[in-house]
């Protein structure tokens, strides 16, 4: 019996032969563009102004602050007029500026015109000089901590780590054949890692980490550290010069970063602080903070391990688990949520290993509620949060006010000493070869993120404002303080030029493909690994271009260009969306295991849909969308086909966690338009999905004889089809206008 049902698409009815009863509505297919640009106008622009403000002169007497901004919502010309006149569809950006003279106490406020910001049309494009352009989204490596190991010719295992910020200096750890651990700061010459540890200890008021015992007190007794101490010359130099070891370590690092400059302690302290702990020079972004905290969290490292010492809560002082306890994943989470930062575990060979995190905690564990309304979505620094809780004395409103005032301390935008020490500890734990932690796969979509139009524009604006910053400080020094005004100090040309260059000549700003509506739509959903900060097609390896198991439901494994760009240009799948952190999410239906009270358990696929990033999905077992279901949503078969990370296998239904929402969630919009795709050869399907975008459009449109159900949504979201903004009845139609009467009588 063929399951045929009627399906209404707009005004048309088509017959559907789909086996699946459940249909999740497709999202808006150009949302990847419109949502990102909306974020830029509402939040991204304000972030740039906050980052560059205030600008002060060298004496500290004058300061300029950017208070707020406004963009005219009604541009001078409509989109159609811009195309006719060959001009930009744009609106003026005005910034409210305050100039404060601290000597005289004079404060001047004024509105400054910063240039025009191109606006996005409803269909996700920009009109630049009368031509429609699309900003292609870029897929890049996410900020975070990445660990790897390799075996050299001698059969010895060497370890490497990279700590990558969103903007700023990289920290790279590596080991040699003798077990010595080195660090490179900002790709400079390497130094023993104990030198960096001691230098960080010397950044405070007084040296904290001087002796070998001080280092071992933090990291535990490690053979690799002992080998590294032998290479660390700072102890010998300090003994000769009769100075502190930390200061000599600072000076040695300064010599590597600034070869040729005289090494002075003050200059060395300033340089290391600026490189690592200055928000303007080092930024990990919210996504970096999320990735750092997730990587070094205790729960993922101590599960299935035996405690060598009791785990004690530093907040209440209670013993959570006694020594000798074998920890389950739930136990490990309980330890982490109690604010415990370090534990000592015992390995099977009897070794004791110290495992510690970066002193952060989920605020829900301390407060019982989250702080999202205060702008905090990540973990917070435990010490700062405890101070705030103590000062608030149980007053929730007061606590939230204090949290808003101390966001920069709770979730630092730069790396912290705790982050660096935790990253070194992670590497030391990996060296025990007992799997205390995991190595990272850089091609995993949990480690690659999307930089959409809003973020690219924000970065371009930041560069413009940074250039403007320099001219402002130069003018402050050169001109008479009494006659200064904001207009005299601010030269807006770098900002306007930056925006114009980005839209005019950036590798990711492209003329929109206008062969047919499908070409337009897919261009807006394109993901490129090329472009500024990305790969170059000459250096891109096979691994980067290859299909990865995490592409399932996120990036189309079929649609990609033939030729030198193969695998570097890809497309979002039909149901994929992009999270706030820039990771691609795929939707899944939750499987519920319901006990009927008689000892029978039904495994029912609910209509509850959850979006998951690739690293979250790795924790679950997921059934395929075409698995037969009974009328009540329960599985017909006792054993089903599932995906478990990169394996496809058969498993009993009681172990299944989720189910795919649709068979077409695996492929992109263009590929989903190929009928009977499952019978098509891979390379022919690739050609088919590319060549559909080259088809000549019809003057008089017609529906396909055989379709896939994707055509209506693709046509509507491409922006080529005229759609009504509201429900109503068509009253009048001619070549120039269509009049629709709404239910309330409004035309």
| SS3 at position 123 | coil
Report residue 193 as tokens.
């890692």
Report residue 448 as tokens.
């690659």
DSSP assignment, residue 216?
A: H
According to the model, what pLDDT value does residue 2 have? 64
∠ Cα 659 663 669 (to 5°) = 130
Q: DSSP strand E in 409-508: where?
A: 448-451
Q: Spell out the residues 6+ positions from residue 2 whose beta carbon is closer than 8 angstroms to its own.
A: 17
**Sign of the four-CA dihedral 670, 676, 678, 679:** negative
- The answer to whether residue 1 scores a pLDDT higher than 60 is no
Report residue 221 as tokens.
């007794």
Is residue 54 within 8 Å of 99, Cβ to Cβ?
A: no
According to the model, what pLDDT value does residue 207 have? 59
According to the model, what pLDDT value does residue 673 have? 93
DSSP assignment, residue 440?
A: -
Residue 428 phi/psi, 5° resolution? Answer: -60, -40
Q: At what angle do helices 396-405 and 382-392 cross, to 10 degrees?
A: 140
Q: Choose the weakest-confidence range: 526-535, 628-637, 668-677.
A: 628-637
Interatomic CA distance for residues 190 and 645, integer angstroms? 37
Q: Choose the weakest-confidence range: 151-160, 238-247, 575-584.
A: 238-247
Q: Choose the weakest-confidence range: 54-63, 333-342, 576-585.
A: 54-63
| SS3 at position 420 | helix
Q: What is the mean pLDDT of the chain?
A: 87
- The answer to whether residue 38 scores a pLDDT higher than 80 is yes
Interatomic CA distance for residues 326 and 604, integer angstroms? 34
Q: Which residue has the tokens 């010359």?
A: 233
| Helix, strand, coil percent values for the chain (each to nearest 5) | 35, 25, 40
What is the mean pLDDT of the segment spanning 305-316?
84
Q: Choose the weakest-confidence range: 639-643, 686-690, 737-741.
A: 737-741
According to the model, what pLDDT value does residue 390 have? 81
Report residue 315 as tokens.
């907040």
Interatomic CA distance for residues 688 and 571, integer angstroms? 15
According to the model, what pLDDT value does residue 52 have? 85
157-164 and 526-528: which strand pairing?
Answer: unpaired
CA-atom Rg of the chain in angstroms: 29
What is the mean pLDDT of the segment spanning 597-606?
82
According to the model, what pLDDT value does residue 205 have? 55
According to the model, what pLDDT value does residue 126 have? 93
**31-140+450-518 and 144-277: same fold?**
no
Report residue 383 as tokens.
């010490």
Share of the chain above pLDDT 90, in %: 31
What is the mean pLDDT of the segment spanning 89-103?
87
Q: Which residue has the tokens 């907040």?
A: 315
User: What's the pTM value of the predicted model, to 2 decimals?
Assistant: 0.91
Please tell me which residue, 603 or 481, carries the higher pLDDT value. 603
Please tell me which residue, 238 or 127, carries the higher pLDDT value. 127
Report residue 586 as tokens.
């795929």
User: If you classify domain 144-277 with CATH, what class do you get?
Assistant: alpha beta
Residue 634 phi/psi, 5° resolution? Answer: -85, 155
According to the model, what pLDDT value does residue 222 have? 80
What DSSP element (H or E) covers 584? strand 584-595
According to the model, what pLDDT value does residue 548 have? 92
**Sign of the four-CA dihedral 653, 658, 664, 665:** negative
Please tell me which residue, 239 or 304, carries the higher pLDDT value. 304
Is residue 673 within 8 Å of 688, Cβ to Cβ?
A: no
- The answer to whether residue 350 scores a pLDDT higher than 90 is no
Report residue 479 as tokens.
């001109």
Interatomic CA distance for residues 357 and 424, integer angstroms? 10
Assigned architecture for domain 31-140+450-518: Alpha-Beta Complex (3.90)
- The answer to whether residue 470 scores a pLDDT higher than 90 is no
| SS3 at position 596 | coil
Q: How confident is the model at residue 550 (pLDDT cuts 50, 70, 90)?
A: very high
Alpha helix segments (H runs only) across 354-452: 363-367, 382-392, 396-405, 407-410, 417-430
Exposure string for 28-40, b = 16+ CB within 10 A, e = fewer: ebbbbbbbbbebb
Within the chain, what is the greatest distance between any pair of CA atoms?
95
CB atoms within 10 A of CB 591: 24
Please tell me which residue, 530 or 486, carries the higher pLDDT value. 530
Read off the pLDDT of residues 366-394 as tens digits, 9 standing for 90 and up. Answer: 787 777 877 788 888 888 888 888 887 77
Share of the chain above pLDDT 70, in %: 99
Is residue 434 within 8 Å of 347, Cβ to Cβ?
A: yes
According to the model, what pLDDT value does residue 206 have? 54
Read off the pLDDT of residues 409-446 as tens digits, 9 standing for 90 and up. Answer: 888 888 988 899 999 999 988 888 667 888 899 999 99
Q: How confident is the model at residue 593 (pLDDT cuts 50, 70, 90)?
A: confident
DSSP assignment, residue 590?
A: E
Q: What are the sequence ranges of the domains in the chain? A: 31-140+450-518, 144-277, 285-430
């Amino acid at each position: 019996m063929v399951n045929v049902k009627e399906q209404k698409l707009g005004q048309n009815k088509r017959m559907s032969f789909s086996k699946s009863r459940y249909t999740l509505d497709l999202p808006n297919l150009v949302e990847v563009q419109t949502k990102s640009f909306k974020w830029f106008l509402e939040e991204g622009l304000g972030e740039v102004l906050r980052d560059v403000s205030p600008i002060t002169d060298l004496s500290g007497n004058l300061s300029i602050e950017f208070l707020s901004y406004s963009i005219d919502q009604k541009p001078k010309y409509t989109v159609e007029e811009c195309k006719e006149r060959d001009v930009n569809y744009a609106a003026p950006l005005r910034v409210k500026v305050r100039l404060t003279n601290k000597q005289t106490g004079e404060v001047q406020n004024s509105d400054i015109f910063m240039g025009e910001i191109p606006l996005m049309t409803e269909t996700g494009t920009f009109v630049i000089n009368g031509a429609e352009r699309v900003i292609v989204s870029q897929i890049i490596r996410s900020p975070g901590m990445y660990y790897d190991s390799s075996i050299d010719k001698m059969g010895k295992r060497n370890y490497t780590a990279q700590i990558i910020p969103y903007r700023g200096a990289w920290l790279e750890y590596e080991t040699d054949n003798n077990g010595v651990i080195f660090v490179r700061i900002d790709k400079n010459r390497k130094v023993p890692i104990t030198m960096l540890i001691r230098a960080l200890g010397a950044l405070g008021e007084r040296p904290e980490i001087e002796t070998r015992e001080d280092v071992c007190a933090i990291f535990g007794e490690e053979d690799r550290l002992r080998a590294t101490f032998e290479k660390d010359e700072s102890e010998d130099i300090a003994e000769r010069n009769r100075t502190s070891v930390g200061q000599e370590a600072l000076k040695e690092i300064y010599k590597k970063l600034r070869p040729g400059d005289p090494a002075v302690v003050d200059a060395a302290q300033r340089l290391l602080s600026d490189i690592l702990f200055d928000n303007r020079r080092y930024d990990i972004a919210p996504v970096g903070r999320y990735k750092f905290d997730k990587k070094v969290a205790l729960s993922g490292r101590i599960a299935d391990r035996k405690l060598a010492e009791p785990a004690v809560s530093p907040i209440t002082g209670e013993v959570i688990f006694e020594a000798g306890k074998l920890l389950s994943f739930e136990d490990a989470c309980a330890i982490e949520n109690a604010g415990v930062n370090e534990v000592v575990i015992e390995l099977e060979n009897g070794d004791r290993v110290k495992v510690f995190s970066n002193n952060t905690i989920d605020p829900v564990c301390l407060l019982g509620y989250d702080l999202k309304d205060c702008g905090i979505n990540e973990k917070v620094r435990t010490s700062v949060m405890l101070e705030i809780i103590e000062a608030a004395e149980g007053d929730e409103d007061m606590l939230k006010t204090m949290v808003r005032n101390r966001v920069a301390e709770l979730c630092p935008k730069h790396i912290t000493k705790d982050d660096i020490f935790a990253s070194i500890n992670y590497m030391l734990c990996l060296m025990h070869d007992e799997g205390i932690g995991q190595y990272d796969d850089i091609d995993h979509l949990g480690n690659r993120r999307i930089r959409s139009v809003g973020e690219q524009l924000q970065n371009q604006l930041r560069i413009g404002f940074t250039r403007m910053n320099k001219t402002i400080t130069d003018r402050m020094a050169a001109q008479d303080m009494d006659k200064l005004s904001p207009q005299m100090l601010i030269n807006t040309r770098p900002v306007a030029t930056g925006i114009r260059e980005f839209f005019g000549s950036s590798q990711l700003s492209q003329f929109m493909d206008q062969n047919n509506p499908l070409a337009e739509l897919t261009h807006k959903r394109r993901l490129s690994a090329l472009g500024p900060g990305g790969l170059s097609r000459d250096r891109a390896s096979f691994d980067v271009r290859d299909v990865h198991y995490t592409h399932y439901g996120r990036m189309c494994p079929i649609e990609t260009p033939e030729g030198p760009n193969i695998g570097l240009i890809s497309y979002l799948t039909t149901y994929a969306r992009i999270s706030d952190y820039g990771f691609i999410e795929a939707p899944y239906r939750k499987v519920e295991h319901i006990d009927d009270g008689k000892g029978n358990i039904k495994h029912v696929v609910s209509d509850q849909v959850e979006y998951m990033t690739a690293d979250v999905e790795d924790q679950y077992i997921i059934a395929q969308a075409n698995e037969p279901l009974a009328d009540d949503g329960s599985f017909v078969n006792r054993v089903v086909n599932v995906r478990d990370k990169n394996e496809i296998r058969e498993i009993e239904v009681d172990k299944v966690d989720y189910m795919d929402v649709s068979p077409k969630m695996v492929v992109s919009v263009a590929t989903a338009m190929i009928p009977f795709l499952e019978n098509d050869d891979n390379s022919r399907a690739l050609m088919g999905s590319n060549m559909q975008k080259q088809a000549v459009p019809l003057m008089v449109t017609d529906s396909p004889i055989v379709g896939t159900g994707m055509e209506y949504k693709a046509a509507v979201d491409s922006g080529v089809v005229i759609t009504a903004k509201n429900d109503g009845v068509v009253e009048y139609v001619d070549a120039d206008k269509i009049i629709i009467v709404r239910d309330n009588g409004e035309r």
